Amino acid sequence: MKTKDLIDLLASDTLQPHKPARQQLTRPLLISAWVSGVLLVLVFGVNPQMGQMAVHPAFLTKMLWLGCLMGFSLFGLFRLSRPGVSAGHTGLGLGLSLLAMIGLGGVQYLQADPDARMSHWMGSSWDVCGTSIAGLSLPVLGALLWGLRQLAPTQPALTGAVAGVLSGSLAAAIYSLHCPETSFVFFSIWYTAGMALSTVLGTVLGARFLRW
């Protein structure tokens, strides 16, 4: 059977997955997010200044940024989980979201006093931020890949990459409950680095485990 014929069959009503893609992915996503949250509490702990941090403009902006990344990647994952369906405007949305934070970081860096620029860049936790986000993303990434295996993605590497972005951005949002940083420069570098690690891992694992 030709590949196109197989895709057409999988896209037909007779061979749809037993559960809708949204249900197949949302449940493991929520459960794994809870697991990552528990890991955050046990390993890192919640920032004792979270009450003040929660209303800080930088924190709110960061969470809006991460929410955009999660929304666009989840949208793309729902599309890619169906055979023969493209990611749509997922890449554009993710790219614009990243550029927005990088732009904020660039403006903040240029406006800062030269003596303060290094603190914006490094913060107090640059050496653990990226790896911590990548570590917290692992339960989410594993759950998403498991859910995707029950569906029929036809672009395994791309699907894994988008799952990695979703895992990384969700993990970054959870890590924010611990992180004391308030610099857009810091977020655009080290948060992005952590999400990039998750994306690369998702690409590699997706190419291997989501292939038919």
pLDDT tens digits, one per residue of 109-149: 998 888 888 888 888 888 999 999 999 999 999 999 999 98
Average pLDDT over residues 92-120: 91
pLDDT tier at 66, thresholds 50, 70, 90: very high
Identify the burial level of 20 via C-beta atoms within 10 angstroms of its C-beta, where 0-12 means exposed, 13-18 middle and 19 or more buried.
Answer: middle
pTM: 0.88
Residue 191 CA to residue 11 CA, distance in Å, equals: 37
pLDDT above 70 for 17: no
pLDDT above 50 for 1: no
More confident residue, 142 or 23: 142
Average pLDDT over residues 41-67: 94
Sequence-separated (6 or more) residues with CB below 8 Å from residue 84? 7, 8, 10, 11, 154
Query: What phi, psi does 119 have (nearest 5°)?
Result: -70, -35
pLDDT above 80 for 22: no
What is residue 113's predicted lDDT score, i.e. its pLDDT?
Answer: 85
pLDDT above 80 for 5: no
pLDDT tier at 11, thresholds 50, 70, 90: low
Average pLDDT over residues 203-210: 92
Give the H or E element holding residue 211. none
